[in-house]
Amino acid sequence: MTPHPLELRRIRKSFSGVKVLKDIDLVLPDKGAILGLVGENGAGKSTLMNVLGGVLPRDSGELLLDGLPYHPAGPVDADRAGIAIIHQELNLFSNMTIAENLYLTGAPGTRLHLLSYRAMNRAARAELARVGLDLNPATRVSELSMGVRQLVEIAKALSREARIVVFDEPTTSLATHEKERLFRLIRELSEKGVSIIYISHALDDVLALCHHVAVLRDGTLVGQSPVREMTKERMIAMMVGRKLDQLFPWVPKRPGEVLLRVDGLGQGSIFRDVSLGLRAGEIVGMFGLMGAGRSELLRAVYGVDPFDAGRVLFRGAPVRRPEPSWWVEHGVAYITENRREEGLLMPKTVKENLVLANLRRLRRTLGAVDTRREERESEEAIGRLRIKTYDKARQAVRMLSGGNQQKVVIGKWLVTRPTVFLVDEPTRGVDVGAKFEIYSHLNALAGEGSAVLFVSSEMEELMGVCDRILVLSRGRLAGELARPEFDQHRLLELAIGGHDARSVA
Amino acid sequence: MPAASPKVTVAAAFYRYGLFVVVLFLLLTFSLFNRNFVSGANAVNLLQQTASTGIAASGLVFVMVAGGIDISLGSTMFLSSVIVASAANAGAGLWPSFAIAIGCGALVGVVNGVCVALLRIVPLIVTLASLYAVRGVALSITGIQSVDFFNPVGDAVAYVRLGGVVPVVVVISAATLVLSQLVLSRTLYGRQLYAIGNNASGARVMGVAVRRNVFLSYVICGALAGLAGMVSGAQVGSITPSFSEGQEFIIITSAILGGVSLFGGKGTVLPGAFLGVLIIMCIENGLVMAGANMYLYTIVRGFVIFLAVMLDCLRNTGELR
């Protein structure tokens, strides 16, 4: 019997006394296998891959490559052993060319320590061709789209003769056609005998792409099985450790007065003539393709960016110049798309971040912060969104996993109980369990009489959660669907067609 | 977006060639005021004046490209010039003198590098401390007296012209600039510095020895500051206690003006930092020729620093780092 390409035995890892990996046994059964690795945020997926890639040392346990012991002391060892990890945040240097990125730690044609750009570019061109890219290797990475960068990263892995390639959440920032191209490439690699570990929250993708699925929960491997024995429901049940009765909680509501109204808003060629109203007690969805102007519209309404036509009204009164601080004072909250950059104080603790937006309400006489309430509210947010932190008063947000950072941003605003809540892609990169919590919270908010505007590019969640859905197409409102009319085809049609189909260039 | 692309290329062209235009503009302006300005003699003169700043700036580029900063340059220059002048006065030969100056600076660089790369202290604080400490050490050596550099070594560096035309300082500075640029753009070490300046943790994951490379950048920077101190000391002849004071800001400003980013990952020695040095020298020369008073110098310098940093910040909005 030939040995497995990769076998992990009883891997353990703790951070400051907190067990993150508990006796993990994981097997990549044969050459060219695609293994899907799923689990909630903070279940230990990234830590496990960092151990595999030599970025973190394991506490105990064994790793075997083709049956031989493999114990990396650093990333260089992993590279030599033919293991490449394509991280969620790509490790490309945007200030350098493709060729320079490919050959950062060793270049072809180097003589007397002097690099030969001609040899580098020639070799790089060949590597790019292997992933189907016809690009000038002297192109600066900053000029490439995210999808192309990912292919470059894969080319880099292949140029190092990688036998095992790990993809960590590769599709979060990809457009649909880029995703399809990536999947084609992964399948090709697998046919050529490269083994793949594919980490993702997109369970449908995992089912479509992978041969085997392994599920992690709380640092334990809950199960591994061939994909044909797996269903989405089963994966979710294994990940969450309990059964979610329904993915989308929805309750009928009685909309009240219009809280926020947008009247003929426009901003250059980005969006035009957008009018909408948000009523108390309803969740309004907003759908549109990438670049339709959804995020820009929200930013303008909230006063982050200026607009040049139309007006914004709050409780019937026009807001002369919208300004984020003014909105916050009036109980209007906004979660941006780049919440990790714009929504968090990275070096501060989880608790400090959670109560930040609510400090005004936590004031007692003389302006001192009510520490007992601070404690209670942050504890509640952590519990309800199931944020994985070992010590909320000591752990910096920077040290949390990506998904948990997002939960902190959302929790931060949820505790303020906003009267109007504008959310832009709140569930991107968040695991199923937390998604469910976020939906429930939005529902609860609406139940208490708040208005919610929910921007998303996932039709399924919009249809599950919203009372009505507005569709934005190339900067214009293309239509509105009420709950009984919800239909994926109709939504897509509106999003693609718009009423300006001729100008598609 | 076809409408937006010409604008982008104009901006890109400005970033790429703007410096050359500025230098040309300055040279033209001064030649209008002073007929002697565009003479061969004055060109050599200008290069002589830029020599020490250019040498120090090329060392600084190594540090800044990797995302660091060194504000102890002026003090390092002072220390090395004091020690090398004393050694030469005591009879040290030409080559040993060079070794002493470079070694002296490298030693300061080692201290800075250990603090930044191994102890992980913020570079600005580390080099602020050495800015004072190093000058203090040098002052305690001189006993707050001036040190003369009027000896054969000093003369050989400052006055000798190769073939009777090209001054030695110009040769030294040209060699330093060319070599530094070669290391930065044509060796793995140089490319790795750019990677570190762009994304240090990413570079570490890629297997780049980040700490060692950063440490080395401070050593190179210190060593070249030492060389610059010797050149500058030989040129002025008498090293006063305030020698090179504030020089670091002229060097840093030159580098930033030349497109070396305070945010790391970007910039070149040639043409970049060197053009920056030329611009600063042209401005100072212009002020001298115009007979401007002392206060104006400081005001103009402040304004240029502001302008340089503002340009750098503008260039760094967006992803283009």
Read off the pLDDT of residues A194-243 as tens digits, 9 standing for 90 and up.
Answer: 999 999 888 889 999 999 999 998 889 998 999 999 888 888 888 877 66
Say what the pLDDT of residue A502 is.
37
Residue A441 forms part of a structural domain: no
The CATH code of the domain at B37-315 is 1.10.3470
**Do A194 and A319 fall within a single domain?**
no
**Do A115 and A71 fall within a single domain?**
yes
pLDDT digits (tens, 9 = 90+) for A447-458: 889 999 999 888
pLDDT band at A259 (very low <50, low <70, confident <90, very high): very high
Is the pLDDT at A175 greater than 80? The verdict is: no
Percent of chain B at pLDDT exceeding 90: 56
Q: Cα distance from B178 to chain A (closest Cα, Å)? A: 14
Least confident of A104-113, A452-461, A495-504, B143-152: A495-504
**Do A284 and A232 fall within a single domain?**
no
pLDDT band at B2 (very low <50, low <70, confident <90, very high): very low
Domain boundary among A209, A240, A271: A240
pLDDT digits (tens, 9 = 90+) for B233-256: 999 999 999 999 989 999 999 999
> Any CB–CB contact under 8 A between A113 and chain B?
yes
Give the residue from chain A lying closest to B66, CA to CA. Answer: A95
**Do A345 and A292 fall within a single domain?**
no
Is the pLDDT at B321 greater than 50? The verdict is: no
This model of the complex carries an ipTM of 0.81
Say what the pLDDT of residue B67 is.
94
Is the pLDDT at B318 greater than 70? The verdict is: no
Question: Which chain A residues are closer than 8 Å to B67 by Cβ?
Answer: none
3-state secondary structure of B17: helix
Question: Which chain B residues are closer than 8 Å to A114 by Cβ?
Answer: 182, 186-187
Which of B186, B188, B194 is opposite residue A93, by nearest beta carbon? B194
Q: Cα distance from A111 to chain B (closest Cα, Å)? A: 10
Least confident of A424-433, A474-483, B4-13: B4-13
Taking only residues 127 to 156 of chain A, the set having a beta carbon closer than 8 angstroms to any beta carbon of chain B reads 142
Question: Which chain B residues are closer than 8 Å to A115 by Cβ?
Answer: 186-188, 191
Under an 8 A CB cutoff, do A142 and B266 touch?
no
What average pLDDT does range A335-350 have in this prediction?
A: 77
**Do A87 and A208 fall within a single domain?**
yes
**Do A79 and A226 fall within a single domain?**
yes
Say what the pLDDT of residue B30 is.
72
Residue written as token pair 């070694």: B103
Q: Give the residue with greater pLDDT, A423 vs A390.
A: A423
Interchain CB contacts (distance < 8 Å): A and B = 68
Extents of the domains making up chain B: 37-315
Domain boundary among A394, A417, A440: A417
Domain with residue A225: its CATH number is 3.40.50.300
**Do A118 and A185 fall within a single domain?**
yes
Under an 8 A CB cutoff, do B208 and A107 touch?
no
pLDDT band at A504 (very low <50, low <70, confident <90, very high): very low
**Do A410 and A423 fall within a single domain?**
no
Question: Which chain B residues are closer than 8 Å to A89 by Cβ?
Answer: 202
Residue A370 forms part of a structural domain: yes
pLDDT band at B15 (very low <50, low <70, confident <90, very high): low
Picking from B266, B280, B213, B309, the residue whose alpha carbon sits closest to that of residue B56 is B280
Residue A440 forms part of a structural domain: no
Under an 8 A CB cutoff, do A75 and B203 touch?
no
Residue A1 forms part of a structural domain: no
Percent of chain A at pLDDT exceeding 90: 34
Say what the pLDDT of residue B251 is.
95
CA distance B79 to B230: 9
**Do A20 and A148 fall within a single domain?**
yes
Say what the pLDDT of residue A493 is.
80
Least confident of A42-56, A428-442, B181-195: A428-442
Domain boundary among A180, A207, A240: A240
- Give the containing element (helix H, strand E) for A349: none
Give the residue from chain B lying closest to A75, CA to CA. Answer: B207
**Do A423 and A413 fall within a single domain?**
no
Which of A87, A96, A107 is opposite residue B188, by nearest beta carbon? A107
Residue A249 forms part of a structural domain: no
Question: Which chain B residues are closer than 8 Å to A95 by Cβ?
Answer: 194, 197-198, 265-266, 320-321
**B23-43 b/e with 16+ CB inside 10 Å = b?**
beebbeebeeeeeebeeeeee
Say what the pLDDT of residue A269 is.
83
Question: Which chain A residues are closer than 8 Å to B205 by Cβ?
Answer: 53, 55, 75, 85, 87, 91
**Do A128 and A81 fall within a single domain?**
yes
Among A21-35, A340-354, B106-120, top mean pLDDT goes to B106-120
pLDDT digits (tens, 9 = 90+) for B244-300: 998 999 999 999 988 899 889 989 998 889 999 988 888 887 787 777 788 888 888
Under an 8 A CB cutoff, do B321 and A79 touch?
no
Q: Cα distance from A278 to chain B (closest Cα, Å)? A: 33
Which of A95, A107, A142 is opposite residue B194, by nearest beta carbon? A95
SS3 assignment for A213-253? EEEEECCEEEEEEEHHHCCHHHHHHHHHCCCCCCCCCCCCC
Percent of chain A at pLDDT exceeding 70: 94
Residue A439 forms part of a structural domain: no
pLDDT digits (tens, 9 = 90+) for B96-153: 999 999 999 999 999 999 999 999 999 999 999 999 999 999 999 998 899 999 899 8
**A251-288 b/e with 16+ CB inside 10 Å = b?**
eebebeebbbbbeebbbeebbbebebbbbbbbbbbbbb
Contact A55, A427 (CB under 8 A): no
The DSSP call for residue A2 is P
pLDDT mean across residues, chain B = 87
CA distance B153 to B101: 12
pLDDT band at B28 (very low <50, low <70, confident <90, very high): confident
Residue A444 forms part of a structural domain: no
Say what the pLDDT of residue A136 is.
94
Q: Cα distance from B232 to chain A (closest Cα, Å)? A: 31
Under an 8 A CB cutoff, do A142 and B208 touch?
no
Least confident of A67-76, A360-369, B56-65, B71-80: A360-369
Say what the pLDDT of residue B100 is.
97
Say what the pLDDT of residue B61 is.
97
**Do A345 and A321 fall within a single domain?**
no
Q: Cα distance from A470 to chain B (closest Cα, Å)? A: 26
Question: Which chain B residues are closer than 8 Å to A144 by Cβ?
Answer: none
E-state strands within A280-419: 283-287, 309-314, 317-319, 332-335
pLDDT digits (tens, 9 = 90+) for A313-326: 999 889 888 888 88
Say what the pLDDT of residue B196 is.
94
Identify the domain containing residue A397 by its residue range: 338-417
Q: How many independent structural domains does chain A possess?
A: 3
pLDDT digits (tens, 9 = 90+) for A277-296: 999 999 999 998 777 888 88
